[in-house]
Amino acid sequence: MPKLTIDGKEVEVPKGTRLIEAARKLGIEVAHYCYHPGLPIAGNCRMCLVEIEKNPKLQISCHIEAADGMVVKTQSALAKQGRQNTLEFLLLNHPVDCPVCDQAGECKLQDYYMEHGLHDPKFDDNKVRKSKKAFPIGPNVMLDTERCILCSRCVRFTDEITKTHEFGIFNRGDHSEVGLVPGKSLDNPYSANVVDICPVGALTDRDFRFKCRVWYLGKTPSVCTGCSRGCNIEIDYDRLRPHKKAGHDRIMRFKPRENSEVNKWWICDAGRYSYKLIDHGRLVAAKQSGIDASLDAALGEVAGLLAKAREQGRSGRIGVLASPDMTNEELFLVRQLFREELSAALAFEMAEPAGHKDDFLITADKHPNRAGAREILGTGLAKGEELLARAARGDLVALLVFHWDIAALAGADRLAAAARGAPLYVFATHENRTTYAARFALPVANFAEQSGTFTNCQGRVQRIAKAVEPLGESRPAWKILCEFSDALRLGWTHESAESVFAELSASVHAFAGMSWQTLGHAGATWKQGQPQEAAAAR
Amino acid sequence: MAANVKVLKRRELTWWENTFLPSIYAGLVITSRHFFGNLAIHISHVFGLRKKERGSTTYQYPEEKRPLAHRYRTRHRLMKRDSGETRCVACMLCETICPAHCIAIVAKEHPDPDIEKMPASFDIDLGKCVYCGFCVEVCPEDAIRMDTGRLDIAAYSRGGMILNFDHLMNPELPVLDPAKPVAR
């Protein structure tokens, strides 16, 4: 293990570590454009220059491996001068059209100019104009070659990560420009990641284009719910413009968040653009057979029905179809309320068409928390279709459905038959044919509007956090379940989803020892190789 | 209690002061001095005398408008390019800097890729504006100015105080039509 000194501080790093990573370990950020920890090293931007003692020239810290006894200075006058000159060269032909550039505000050229540049430009010739200004190069990405500094991150991404080889750098000298290989279009399922890794405004997102300046955004760490991978994301929402016209989208975009155990730095395009579902087509008020109704009346009716069924000893004939879209906390409350207290007929799975999957991030299971649901509710449960059949036979006193769009999966006929046999109560985030058919449809908050945890396909428990307020009358499902418990006088005292999680970790083995604090924003994998709590119960 | 508290006693008015007669008299003296002084100057002006002294006048607003200082900040306008379209590129710096949050811009694509961006809508709520002039100062394109000289800003509703893009591009238009408040 080489031991070296960076800016007067000693650090020991594994052999083969690059200087830039060793410095990062000490909390020293060396300016860089082309270096990306997820991509092979190119060493072409020359921005990460540092001074190494006994070395006559400045060296790029992204390429030099740490060696024993090395003395590195990142802040010496020589290193600073080197970085400033490099930046001046990088900015020679940059159009500086920040007012119209979507990257402005999160642009590394802006950041490093303020940090390392502040030079008077010595270049007074005309800047080289490229053939075209911004133009689309695929369904999701715009390219503006004039802003490009030729760091080649996008080229390496499509060569090494997606292996689709769309990008190349063409021509020579100051005519060099990044572009697509003739005949190709940037339409691979991970294409928009090049926008994130582009350190300048050359590659921008067509969907986000001109929608919002980045300094208006509030950022909340969360988890993508598009599939069971549970990619870590950051929800970027419009924070600063309350005076904007009503009815505009609150969520502006999703950005991937680094998690070396799950998604590295990447996210698929389907997940990235799934933010649109948060504000569109939402169920915002309680509905009675598709017509606006009072939420209190709906909640009261369900609570009264539960209490009456328990009194009459018929609570085993309450059908509850929970969902792998619910958080661990909500599923635990479903278990406590409907299995422990009421011994209701419980299910959480339905037959679904197989989803698209690939060998990188996308999984076939399109629900974020199936692993958690199996762990908490157990795997031996009936399927949703059996509950529907029982309801249609008139065997159930009520059927409570969380999130599932039964009409889309089992067909409108079976839904109608079930709704005839037993009163149907649907807790849903979005309006669909199932909410129209229900006796009462109750609006619940979605994952951007509440805090909680999901368990991904690797058994990794990851936190989501509330980014925006629940829309309309909707409220988190765990709160609704707590209200039912109040009606049944169960004496629950949960004030937040966090206290539910504390109880969950105390009673379900896989979650033992976990708390929201220890999970942090990276999550933690649950205990492997131990007897499953659900299996032990059976 | 803090140590250095100075207690001031208000002086009681005397009986004579309480009649207010001395104050009324003093006020009339001041008014009359201005009136007769100005009258004398204006009469002198008629005879071509005392030209260097300026007598005070009343502006017959709205027929007669008071001249404004060169840098006086008045209602906003958007500047135009030679082609007649707006100079604004919807960079939203004015919206960002505005301390009153009275500017709301929605951007759209400009047909010319060299300009790239333009406002789809540009609203200024004059009911909120504090006329600080930050928007003018911050604009990188010299696209907004506050030099229309228009002070006739009144409306029957809050909605009527909102200037939209057309009003800003054509400051000579009679805006803030009280009969047709702009819908929010």
Average pLDDT (B101-110) is: 92
Q: Which residues contact A260 (CB under 8 A, 6 or more apart)?
A: none
Query: Has residue B66 been placed in a domain?
Result: no
Confidence of residue B184 (pLDDT cuts 50, 70, 90): very low
**Average pLDDT of every residue of chain A:** 92
Q: How far apart are CA A349 and CA A347, in angstroms?
A: 6
- The verdict on residue B164 lying in a domain is yes
For residue A240, pLDDT over 80 is answered with no
Residues of A in contact with B89 (CB under 8 A): 99-100
- Domain identity same for B53 and B106: no
Question: Who's near A369: CB < 8 A, 6+ residues apart?
Answer: A228, A324, A325, A326, A327, A328, A331, A454, A455
Do B82 and B41 share a structural domain? no
Structure tokens at B33: 């001095």
Give the pLDDT band (50/70/90) at residue A152: very high
- In this prediction the pTM is 0.86
Contact A119, A84 (CB under 8 A): yes
Task: Determine the residue among A210, A214, A216, A241 to mutate to test chain B binding: the one whose Cβ has the most chain B Cβ atoms within 10 Å.
Answer: A210
Instruction: Say yes or no: B64 contacts chain A, CB-CB below 8 A.
Output: no
Pair B44, B83 in one domain: no
> What local confidence, expressed as pLDDT, does residue B2 receive?
63
* pLDDT category of residue A125 using cuts at 50, 70 and 90: confident
Same domain, B25 and B90: no
The tokens of A491 are what?
Answer: 């004496």
Same domain, B86 and B163: yes
* Region A217-233 average pLDDT: 95
Q: Give me the domain span that covers residue B129.
A: 77-169
Instruction: State the nearest Cα–Cα gap between A243 and chain B, in angstroms.
Output: 7
Residue of chain A minimizing CA distance to B110: A100
The verdict on B25 and B86 lying in the same domain is no
Rounded to two decimals, the ipTM of the complex is 0.83
Q: Determine, yes or no, domain membership for B117.
A: yes
- Is residue B156 a part of any domain in this protein? yes
Do residue B91 and residue B148 come from a single domain?
yes
Structural domain count, chain B: 2
Question: B20 and B101 share a domain?
Answer: no
In this structure, the answer to whether residues B86 and B129 fall within a common structural domain is yes
Task: Tell me: do B90 and B45 sit in the same domain.
Answer: no
Interface size, chain A vs chain B, as Cβ–Cβ contacts under 8 Å:
47
Residues B54 and B83 in one domain: no
CB contact under 8 A, A100 and B117: yes
Alpha helices in A113-240 (DSSP H): 153-156, 193-197
Are residues B116 and A243, on separate chains, in Cβ contact within 8 Å?
A: no
Task: Dump pLDDT digits (tens) for A437-485.
Answer: 999 999 999 999 999 999 999 999 999 999 999 988 999 999 999 999 9
- CA torsion sign for A387, A388, A393, A397 is positive
Per-residue confidence band for B174, with pLDDT thresholds at 50, 70 and 90: low
The pLDDT value given to residue A129? 87
In a domain, B30, yes or no: yes
Nearest CA in chain A to B106: A211
Q: How does strand A345-347 pair with strand A318-321?
A: parallel
Chain B environment of A213 (Cβ under 8 Å): 91-92, 96
In a shared domain, residues B24 and B91:
no
State the nearest Cα–Cα gap between B91 and chain A, in angstroms: 5
Rounded to the nearest angstrom, the minimum Cα separation between A244 and chain B is: 6
Residue B109 in domain: yes
| B64 — pLDDT class (breaks 50, 70, 90) | confident
SS3 B78: strand
B122: which chain A residues are within 8 Å (Cβ-Cβ)? Answer: none
A247: confidence class by pLDDT, cuts 50, 70, 90: low
Instruction: Kindly state whether B89 is in contact with chain A, defined as any CB-CB distance less than 8 angstroms.
Output: yes
DSSP tally for chain B: helices H, then strands E? 5, 5
pLDDT more than 90, % of chain A: 85
- Distance from B139 to chain A by nearest Cα, in Å? 9
- pLDDT, tens digit, 9 for 90 and up, residues A483-528: 999 999 998 999 999 999 999 999 998 999 999 999 999 999 987 6
Q: How confident is the model at residue A302 (pLDDT cuts 50, 70, 90)?
A: very high
Instruction: Provide the pLDDT confidence category of residue B176 given band limits of 50, 70 and 90.
Output: low
Q: Can you give the pLDDT at residue A249?
A: 79
pLDDT at site B182 = 47
What's B146's domain CATH number? 3.30.70.3270
Query: Could you tell me if residue B177 is inside a domain?
Result: no
User: What would the two tokens of residue A506 be?
Assistant: 């105390």
pLDDT for the residue A6 = 95
Whether the pLDDT of residue A2 is over 80: the answer is yes
Within a domain: B160:
yes
